[in-house]
Structure 1
Amino acid sequence: MLVLSRVVGEMISIGDTISLRIMAVNGNNVRFGIEAPHSVAVHRAEVHQRIQAKREKAKET
């Protein structure tokens, strides 16, 4: 795992096509924006887990 420190307005690049921009920091909360191609699905972890569970359930039937 890579751990980085950034301040508001700075960016982190992932490969050539994905960027994360720090938008705000309020106490323990961090808001960031994600720029990625439409072909890349971007979800919160809990949403991704639900999608994966639905896919697994569909495979079973």
Structure 2
Amino acid sequence: MIKVTSKINIQHQEEVEQVIEEARNTGATIITEPHKAFWGGYSGYFQDPDGHLWEVVWNPDLVIKE
């Protein structure tokens, strides 16, 4: 199990891959590549250069207001 320090909720599934790729390009270590989660969402995990663990997640049941 990954102990997450921070979470980024994304409005669209495709954005998870974009955020993970941006993190990779800025020096983050990818812990888990984006993947379909057992509960129906889509997520990936990275560790930033300061050591903080992040979850990037799209939840189909979560409505994000602008």
Give the TM-score of the pair, scaled to structure 1. Answer: 0.34
Structure with more strand by fraction: 2
Structure number with the bigger relative contact order (C-alpha 8 A, sep ≥ 6) is 2
- Larger CA Rg, structure 1 vs 2: 1
Give the TM-score of the pair, scaled to structure 2. Answer: 0.32
